[in-house]
Amino acid sequence: MKHHAVRTGAMRLTGVGLALILAACQTATPAPTATPVPSPMPLPELTGDPVRGGVLYDQWWKVTGAEAPSGDQPLWQTQTSNTRTGADTWRCKECHGWDYKGVEGAYGSGSHKTGFEGIFAAAGRHPFEILAILKGGANPGHDFSTVMDEQALTDLALFVAQAQMDAAELVNADKTPTGGDADKGKIMYEDTCAACHGPQGTAINFGDESEPEYVGTIARDNPWELAHKLLHGQPGSDPFMPSAASFDYTLDDVADLLLYTQELP
C-alpha cells in the first residue's frame, strides 16, 4: 500500500489547494460586465515548525521548559469518564488522542475516554484559524495563551493544519498495521533505533521493574502513539530521540517500522 509523504507533501498540498480554490473562484466570476467581487482579506501567513508542534501536542511543558501545570485544565470538568487529574489533563493528546480522532478514535472507550472531539477534521484549515482556537477564540476554556508563548501556539497550529497523519492509513482499529514490510522495518530499526533502544528494544524501560514497557510493548499496545512519536520525537528525551523529520521518513517507512517493532519483546 502506498502512503503519502507526510510533512512536506501536506504543506505543499495546502498551497496547491489554495491555488485551486482561487482558480475556481475566478472561473465562477460571471460576465465581464459584472462589478468585480472584492476578495476577502487574506489571513496572515504563520511561520513556524509543525514538527515541533507535534512534540508540543504530546507534552508541551517538556518542550517549552515550563513548570508542569498544576490543577485541571478548565474544560476537564465538563467530562467525568477520564479520571486523571493535574498535568495530564493539559496534554493535547489526552483530550484529542494519539490518532487525532478524539471520541471517534482509540480514546472512544477505555480509561482515556473524555468524549471530546478530535482535531483531524481541522486538518487543512488555515493555521491562523487554528491559532485563534488555541487562544480561546471559540471557547474561553480552550485558551492556552496563558501557558504557552506565541511561537509554541503557532507551531501547534501548523501541526494541526498541515502535519497530521491519517492514522487510518497506517493502523486498523484492532491495532494491526494496514501494511508495511517487516524486513525493511528491521533494517531501519537496526540502523536508527538499536543504538539507543538495543537490538530487541529492551535497553530502555519506559515503565518500571514490575511492569516493564519497551519499544515492542508500545508498538503493540498503542501503535498510534508510536507513529506519532516516530514522526515528531519524544518530548524531553535525553539523548533527544530524533524524529522522522530528521530522517526524512515517509508514512511508508513508519508502517514498516511499526510492523517490525510489533514483533519485538
Q: Which stretches of the chain bind ligand HEC, using CB under 6 A?
A: 57, 73, 75-76, 89-90, 92, 94-96, 116-117, 119, 121-122, 130, 133-134, 138-139, 142, 144, 156, 160, 192-193, 195-197, 204, 206, 215, 218, 225-226, 229-230, 234, 237-239, 241-242, 257, 261
- The grid coordinates of residue 9 equal 507533501
Q: Of the two residues 8 and 64, which places its CB atom closer to ligand HEC in the complex?
A: 64
For the bound state, the minimum distance from the C-beta of residue 39 to ligand HEC, rounded and expressed in Å, comes to: 25
Which CA distances in Å does 225 have to 6, 8, 44, 170, 202? 16, 21, 32, 12, 18
Q: Of the two residues 29 and 139, which places its CB atom closer to ligand HEC in the complex?
A: 139
Q: Of the two residues 29 and 77, which places its CB atom closer to ligand HEC in the complex?
A: 77
Q: Of the two residues 37 and 195, which places its CB atom closer to ligand HEC in the complex?
A: 195
Q: What is the DSSP letter of 44?
A: P
- Collapse the DSSP code of 171 into the 3-class scheme (helix H, G, I; strand E, B; otherwise coil) and give the result: strand
For the bound state, the minimum distance from the C-beta of residue 144 to ligand HEC, rounded and expressed in Å, comes to: 5
- The grid coordinates of residue 117 equal 472531539
Nearest to 114 by CA among 79, 77, 75, 84: 79
Question: For residue 227, what are the contacts with CB-CB under 8 A and spacing of at least 6?
Answer: 98, 165, 167, 170, 171, 254, 258
For the bound state, the minimum distance from the C-beta of residue 6 to ligand HEC, rounded and expressed in Å, comes to: 14
For the bound state, the minimum distance from the C-beta of residue 157 to ligand HEC, rounded and expressed in Å, comes to: 7
